[in-house]
Amino acid sequence: MNRHQAEIRSLQVALQGIVTEFEYDKLTGLMRDEPFLCFYSDDLYNELKRLRAMGLINHHSGTGLTDIRNHFKDRNRQFDLKKFFKVTSKGEEYLRLRTEITKEDE
């Protein structure tokens, strides 16, 4: 492996390690055109909280984590996460960079 390949590989590892695979699924799900149906869980709550803290997602005005927890915790009911959250421009840039850097390895 030459130096350029090693640098690319280190960037790939770094970008993939910024968010967990579960958090990555939330980001990509929020970017799709169709509804992103989820069930409430404490894991979901924590993933969204972390993604928001990193500035990769933001809640729509008048909604947020508290609303999701209050309306869907302990209820076996799906909801469209896109009605509560959206990917920020920083989140879009992260996804774009991750896709580009991952393609270079293929």
Local confidence pLDDT in tens for the 106 residues of the chain: 788 777 777 777 766 668 999 999 999 999 999 999 999 999 999 999 999 999 999 999 999 999 999 999 999 999 999 999 999 999 999 899 888 877 755 5
Number of helices (H), then strands (E), belonging to the chain: the values are 5, 4
Rounded Cα gap, residues 101 and 8, in angstroms: 7
Q: Could you identify the residue written with the tokens 């590989």? A: 9
Rounded Cα gap, residues 28 and 34, in angstroms: 11
Question: Where in the sequence is the domain holding 70, given as residue range(s)?
Answer: 3-103
> What is the pTM assigned to this prediction?
0.84
Own/partner pairs for 63-69, CB < 8 Å, 24+ apart? Answer: 68/40, 68/44, 69/40, 69/45
SS3 6: helix
Q: How many domains does the chain have?
A: 1
